[in-house]
Amino acid sequence: MTMREKLQALLKEAADIVATAKAEDGRDFTPEEVTRINEIKAESDDLAVKVKAADDAQAAAAELAGKAAVTPKPAPALSGVKDRQEDSDAATFGARFVKSGLYEAFRKQNPSGVGQGSPVDIGRVRVGTMKEWLASRTKATASPLQVALGHVAPIRMPMVDQVDRDNLTILDLISRGETAGAFEYLQVTGVTRNAAVVQDEILPGDAASALKPTSTITTTLAEAKPYTYADGYDVTNSLLSDAPALATYMDGELEYSLDNVIEEKLLNGTGTSGDPRGILHTTGVQELTYTPGANAFAQVKAIRQAITKITTLPGGNVTAVLMSPEDDEAWDLLQDTTNRYLGQGPFGQGPSTSWGRTRALSQRLAPGTVILGDWRQVALLDREGLSVLAFNQHKDYAQRNLVYVRAELRAAQVIWKPNRLIVVTPEDEG
User: Interior CA angle at 424 toward 422 and 428, to 5°?
Assistant: 140
Mean predicted confidence (pLDDT) in 66-95? 48
Q: How far is CA 408 from the centre of its chain?
A: 16
341 and 226 within one domain: yes
121 and 49 within one domain: no
110 and 3 within one domain: no
**pLDDT one-digit tens code per residue, 175-208:** 988 898 999 998 887 766 565 665 666 667 666 6
> Which residue has better confidence, 157 or 356?
356
Half-sphere exposure of 309 (CA within 13 A, CB side): 22
pLDDT at 307: 96
| Lowest mean pLDDT, pick from 77-91, 264-278, 306-320, 366-380 | 77-91
SS3 content of the chain, % helix, strand, coil (to 5): 35, 25, 40
What is the length of the chain?
A: 430
52 and 99 within one domain: no
104 and 14 within one domain: no
Beta strands, E only, 141-215: 146-148, 151-152, 175-178, 183-192
Q: How does residue 157 score in pLDDT terms, banded at 50, 70 and 90? A: very low
C-alpha–C-alpha distance, residues 167 and 352, integer Å: 9
Strand partners, 235: 403
User: For residue 291, is pLDDT > 90?
Assistant: yes
Half-sphere exposure of 388 (CA within 13 A, CB side): 29
Closest CA to 138 of 213, 41, 7: 41
> Which residue has better confidence, 304 or 117?
304
> Which residue has better confidence, 423 or 194?
423
Strand partners, 207: none
Q: How does residue 98 score in pLDDT terms, banded at 50, 70 and 90? A: confident
| φ and ψ at residue 206, rounded to 5 degrees | -70, 155
Question: Average per-residue pLDDT in the chain?
Answer: 79
351 and 237 within one domain: yes
Mean predicted confidence (pLDDT) in 359-386? 93
325 φ/ψ sector (left φ>0, alpha ψ -120 to 50, else beta): alpha
Q: How does residue 419 score in pLDDT terms, banded at 50, 70 and 90? A: very high
Under DSSP, is residue 374 helix (H, G, I), strand (E, B) or coil?
coil
57 and 103 within one domain: no
User: Could you tell me if residue 277 is inside a domain?
Assistant: yes
> Which residue has better confidence, 273 or 369?
369
User: Could you tell me if residue 132 is inside a domain?
Assistant: yes
User: Could you tell me if residue 77 is inside a domain?
Assistant: no
pLDDT at 34: 86
Instruction: Count structural domains, the chain.
Output: 2
User: For residue 141, is pLDDT > 60?
Assistant: no
pLDDT at 191: 64
Most confident of 52-61, 164-173, 413-422: 413-422
Q: How does residue 74 score in pLDDT terms, banded at 50, 70 and 90? A: very low
C-alpha–C-alpha distance, residues 35 and 60, integer Å: 38
pLDDT at 75: 41
pLDDT at 3: 79
User: Could you tell me if residue 87 is inside a domain?
Assistant: no
Q: How does residue 122 score in pLDDT terms, banded at 50, 70 and 90? A: confident
27 and 134 within one domain: no
Residue type, 393: Q
User: Could you tell me if residue 89 is inside a domain?
Assistant: no
C-alpha–C-alpha distance, residues 123 and 120, integer Å: 10
User: For residue 161, is pLDDT > 70?
Assistant: no
Q: How does residue 209 score in pLDDT terms, banded at 50, 70 and 90? A: low
430 and 353 within one domain: yes
121 and 24 within one domain: no
405 and 390 Cβ atoms separated by less than 8 Å: yes
Q: How does residue 424 score in pLDDT terms, banded at 50, 70 and 90? A: very high
Task: Find the CATH number of the domain harbouring 334.
Answer: 3.30.2400.10
Residue ending a domain, choose from 10, 40, 61: 61
User: Could you tell me if residue 23 is inside a domain?
Assistant: yes
Strand partners, 412: 381
User: For residue 160, is pLDDT > 70?
Assistant: no
pLDDT at 198: 58
User: Could you tell me if residue 2 is inside a domain?
Assistant: yes
99 and 38 within one domain: no
Mean predicted confidence (pLDDT) in 272-286? 92
Domain range for 282 is 94-154+167-195+213-430
Gyration radius from the chain CA atoms: 26
User: Could you tell me if residue 202 is inside a domain?
Assistant: no
173 and 32 within one domain: no
User: For residue 172, is pLDDT > 80?
Assistant: yes
